[in-house]
Amino acid sequence: MKAKSARRAVPPAPTARGTAPGLAGGIASEAELYGITELAREYGISLRAIRFYEHKGLLAPRRINGGRAYTRRDKVRLGLILRGKAVGMSLAEIEHILSLYGEHGEGHARQLDYLVSRIDETIAELTARKRHLEDMIAELAAAKAQFRRALTGRRRTGQARRKPGRIRAA
């Protein structure tokens, strides 16, 4: 997993319901349809990012009158993609997790098993990093204390050696 200096917050679970402009009227078997602009606005991402996930095969919107119509399933998948990216997963890993679910949720238990094991691995990795960072902080604090003692000692001996009335050049 890669660490990034500036990360977006994990996106919220999709809650708003809506229909894409010009798509109302129950055209699809799933009554809820969303336009690309609507999804981009809700998740705070660009249209280009959504098209990128579509190009990678992670989203499969329907085409109605030349426009993209995203179903509730697409919307949920987009939320999962963004959450996966926010915690440092690669697109390949996100694709694997999404594929475990299946077309109708038949692999949901497998998906959850995988996620639990992946979370356990991540927690172990982060715990090891945390220990390493704590060790580094302790080492730096010890070095800092040693350097301060050395500085204090030099200042004392330096002040005692100085002759009164002389100004030392910096």
> Is the distance from CB of 35 to CB of 20 less than 8 angstroms?
yes
Can you tell me the mean pLDDT for 65-69?
90
The CATH number of 33-101 is: 1.10.1660.10
Alpha-carbon dihedral sign for residues 17, 22, 23, 25: positive
> Is the distance from CB of 61 to CB of 51 less than 8 angstroms?
no
pTM value? 0.61
Can you tell me the mean pLDDT for 127-132?
97
Confidence of residue 10 (pLDDT cuts 50, 70, 90): very low
What's the mean per-residue pLDDT of the chain?
Answer: 81
Residue type, 56: K
More confident residue, 7 or 152: 152
Amino acid 159: pLDDT: 63
pLDDT tens-digit profile of 136-168?
999 999 999 999 999 998 888 876 555 555 666
> Is the distance from CB of 30 to CB of 71 less than 8 angstroms?
yes
Amino acid 28: pLDDT: 42
User: How far apart, in whole angstroms, are the C-alpha atoms of residue 163 and residue 168?
Assistant: 10
